[in-house]
Amino acid sequence: MKKPVLIFLLLTFFATAVSAQFRKSREKATNASVDSNLNYANPGEYTLAGIEVVGLNVLDKNSMIALTGLKVGDKIKIPGDAISGAIRRLWKHGLVGDVSIKVDRIEGSNVYLSLQLSERPRLTAFYFTGISKSQETALKEDLNLIRGKIVNDALVRNTENAVRKHFVKKGFLNTDVKIIQERDTLNREGIKLNINVNTYSKVKINKITIEGNQNIDAGKLKGKLKSTHEYARISIHRTIFRSLLTQPFWKMGDSVSWREVKAFVNDNIKLNIFAGSKYIQTDYEEDKKKLISFYNSKGYRDAEVLTDTVFAAQKGTVNIAMKVYEGPKYYFRNITWKGNYLHNDLTLKSILGIKKGDVYDGELLARKISFDQKTGMDISGLYMDDGYLFFDIKPFERVVEGDSIDVEMRIREGEQAIVNEVTFSGNARTSDHVIRRELSTYPGQKFRRSDIIRTQQRLGQLGYFDPAKVSPDIQPNPANGTVDINWQLEEQSNDQIQLSGGWGGQFGFVGTLGLTFNNFSLRNVPNLKEWNPLPVGDGQRLSIQAQANGRSYQNYNFSFTEPWLGGRKPHSLTLSYSKSFSRSVGPGASSYNDLNSLIKLDNVMVGLGRFLEWPDNYFTLNNTLSFSAFDLNNINYGLGCSTCQSYALSLITAISRSNIDDPRYPSQGSQISLAVTLTPPYSSFNDKDYANLSGEEKNKFQEYHKWMFDAKFYLPLDRKKKLVVEAKAHFGFLGAYNVEKTGIGPFERFYVGGDGLSGGFSSFVLGQEVVGLRGYENNVLTPPDYGGNVLGANTSVRGGIAYDKFGLELRYPITTGNTATIYGFGFVEGGNNWGSYEEFNPFDMYRAAGFGARIFMPAFGLIGLNWAYGFDTVPLGTRGKQPSGAQFHFTIGQQLR
């Protein structure tokens, strides 16, 4: 470097240093001059001439000046309360980390202040350590952390409390939360929060003790604590061993009461394997209310929990000690009515159903007054179904003669309400007219509670909306005697990709791939903007399905359903077409791989259905006209011909009734159907001698009548309608118009046993009805292969002409969300299949029992896992027998009949 340049740089550095030192000296002199003018012992009054704010990067200067309360032109004393008050106000808002107010300069009686602030850092990011990703996702929903928020002590403290509270709710009572503040290297004004969580183990309940219960057993009271349970264990052997160490068995006393034995067993044997045992405070508080409600239902209206204590026990568990006061047991005495003009006392008493001398039950009284879901008969329903929406009833109780209670029912009947506006919300994909046509509530009609319930059921059964979220928002207008109803809906996807599979029968594995669109819109097909991915919204059903088993079997099916033909009445139209091919080893085959037999089947169906108003509006009637054409080539299966054609023209009439509450997991209601299939009685129109006809001519036009009855009933066993019993019965009968002349033909017979998916080769040839019976091999209960032969028929034709099946299934849901419904079950069932009516005995059944689970996902349909044990040995004629034993059935997309 050249010397002139070096000299220039040195002179520049020296000049800068001298200038900075001169500026500091001047500032010190100014401050000294300002300080010399201030007398802290005798404050002076000044006019605030200006305020300068320094140190801000994000906050607005004018806003910060406004927060101080100081204004230019104010008279202030320095030092004085105005300055100290301004500092306190800035601290109060928590926006800054450091505050100081200095006198910049004094000019006569005017003072200029300098407001020196340091901003608090802002939140740029936060992350968790110590917990899983799934726990993070659930936790973030409970936190109110927003990027850009000022990080202060309150934010940190509230976040710690929120995280701890979140995990305490889930049973992690010992959760420890530490929040570490880290500087953001990319933003010098930003802070990242490291939220470290240590949940430790869940705290379980070791023991629950209840004192003060004189009339109700402690075990029964514990059972009413639905979410608060002792953890499962068996410790009776330890207790007996400890007792023997302290006192020999022969010295324990001459007698032991049954109450003591029962208490001993309850204390040492806990078998609530499927019930959660973690302690959650909110659930415990709710359970205490349920305990008192149970006492009230037994007549103890004064019952209360006097004290309860939760204290630590061994190994991360807690004990709960409760003391209850039962009080006296009360009974109903006189029930009187006041204010009722439309209905007399006798009518109201019969609906109330409470008699003099009945145990006092406040919950039952409230249910019979407002809404009795079990019977559907209650006082409010009597009035509201006649339009009296503004009806009100209040029971007034009076205790008399110690344990008796008189109740006076005070009624205000009001005026009848007329429906004014009916609206709905939440239907983004479904068209308005699809919802409107399902409504039973119309503007201008008299309000009826039964119409509300019916509409709620129909909207839930459509499948387009979550049944649990279909909610009517009823807004009465007493001033003009009208009511507005808004139906609040939440849509769910119910289109399906069907993947069906099963193993059994002659063909082994059978697979199906299908697409079903349950909310299709044919009118929007030309409008590409409505495709998402297909046109939706009109409630039509489009189904395309393909089923195959290699070269041996293929089936292609297409169907379309319009539920409201013409758009005015619920008359449905269904069109379907299917084409099937089946190949097998036939006569003259060179090997087992030579599939030289071929059957072609074409089927066309047209169906019309409608809702009925009688006997009630839960009934439907469906009529279907079906035509099938069979083309057989090199077939030898008991038809009397190897290469021929057969045709079936049939009318199928089905009447059914369904009032279940949720099609995915029914908890109450029933499904009953009776279907009759009739072909033309060709034999009645001709004088042919069927005994001497060839098989080809005899079976060219199929002739039969078929009757199918199915019934399912659902009964909830608890108030939450989770534990549900399904009772079902199925019957099927096949007959001929002239048995002596034609006999019962080989078509449409019954195959029973197994998973109900595959009926084998003959079921395809002859269009058989496949019925599942778990615990047995597929189609094993099918004459004539077991039991006797088919009377008056070729013994090479398989299939029964009468079957029955009965079953009980106990279900409990694991989850019933929108994405999936999963429930486990245990079952017992029995059934049989007969080849003649002479052998028919509905009580002669093959029995089975087992357990399993079902998963329903809108995209894939129903998936079933069944383990079953068949108790009875099945005779198989010349093929020996199937012994009793266990079977595993796996089904996808099809529920067992």
pLDDT confidence of 154, banded at 50, 70, 90?
Answer: confident
Q: Give percent of the chain with pLDDT exceeding 70.
A: 82
564 within 8 A of 438, measured Cβ to Cβ: no
Name which of 383, 378, 386, 381 is nearest 353 in CA terms.
378
Looking at the predicted structure, is the pLDDT value of residue 792 above 60? no
Rounded CA separation 322/310 (Å): 9
Torsion of CA 749, 755, 759, 760, to 10 degrees: -150
Looking at the predicted structure, is the pLDDT value of residue 669 above 80? yes
Looking at the predicted structure, is the pLDDT value of residue 96 above 60? yes
DSSP 143: -
Rounded CA separation 614/154 (Å): 66
Average pLDDT on 416-421 reads 95
Query: Residue 680: is the preceding peptide bond cis (ω within 30°)?
Result: no
Average pLDDT on 302-329 reads 89
Phi-psi category of residue 17: left, alpha or beta, with phi > 0 → left and psi -120 to 50 → alpha: alpha
Looking at the predicted structure, is the pLDDT value of residue 676 above 90? yes
Q: Could you report the per-residue pLDDT of 514-533, keeping only the tens digit for each?
A: 888 899 999 988 888 878 77
pLDDT confidence of 684, banded at 50, 70, 90?
Answer: confident
pLDDT at 244: 46
pLDDT at 777: 87
**Chain-wide mean pLDDT for the chain?**
82
Looking at the predicted structure, is the pLDDT value of residue 560 above 90? yes
Average pLDDT on 649-658 reads 96
717 forms beta bridges with: none
Q: Could you report the per-residue pLDDT of 60-73, keeping only the tens digit for each?
A: 778 788 888 888 88
pLDDT confidence of 397, banded at 50, 70, 90?
Answer: confident
Average pLDDT on 8-30 reads 52
Q: Give percent of the chain with pLDDT exceeding 90.
A: 35
pLDDT at 232: 66
pLDDT confidence of 790, banded at 50, 70, 90?
Answer: very low
Looking at the predicted structure, is the pLDDT value of residue 189 above 90? no
Looking at the predicted structure, is the pLDDT value of residue 444 above 60? yes
Average pLDDT on 130-137 reads 85
Q: Could you report the per-residue pLDDT of 699-736, keeping only the tens digit for each?
A: 889 999 999 999 999 999 987 788 999 999 999 999 99
pLDDT at 621: 96
- Low-confidence winner among 130-134, 411-415, 693-697 (lowest mean pLDDT): 693-697
Looking at the predicted structure, is the pLDDT value of residue 754 above 50? yes
What separation, in Å, do the N-terminal and C-terminal C-alpha atoms of the chain show? 100
- Low-confidence winner among 239-243, 259-263, 332-336, 339-343 (lowest mean pLDDT): 239-243
Average pLDDT on 332-339 reads 93
Looking at the predicted structure, is the pLDDT value of residue 840 above 80? yes
pLDDT at 588: 75
Q: Could you report the per-residue pLDDT of 758-777, keeping only the tens digit for each?
A: 555 555 556 688 899 999 98
pLDDT at 12: 62
pLDDT confidence of 30, banded at 50, 70, 90?
Answer: very low
pLDDT confidence of 544, banded at 50, 70, 90?
Answer: very high
708 within 8 A of 731, measured Cβ to Cβ: yes
pLDDT at 33: 39
pLDDT confidence of 502, banded at 50, 70, 90?
Answer: low
Q: Could you report the per-residue pLDDT of 174-188, keeping only the tens digit for each?
A: 888 998 888 888 877
Rounded CA separation 524/547 (Å): 29
What single string gives the DSSP state of each residue in 704-727? -EEEEEEEEEEEESSTTS-SEEEE
Side-chain-facing half-sphere of 405: CA atoms under 13 Å: 23
Q: State the pTM of this model.
A: 0.63
Q: Could you report the per-residue pLDDT of 794-838, keeping only the tens digit for each?
A: 445 678 999 999 999 999 999 887 678 899 999 999 999 999 999
Backbone angles phi, psi at 463, to 5 degrees: 90, -10
For 459, counting Cβ atoms within 10 Å of its Cβ (0-12 exposed, 13-18 middle, 19+ buried), the class is buried
Backbone angles phi, psi at 97, to 5 degrees: -95, -30
pLDDT at 712: 97
For the chain, helix (H) and strand (E) counts, in that order, are 17, 38
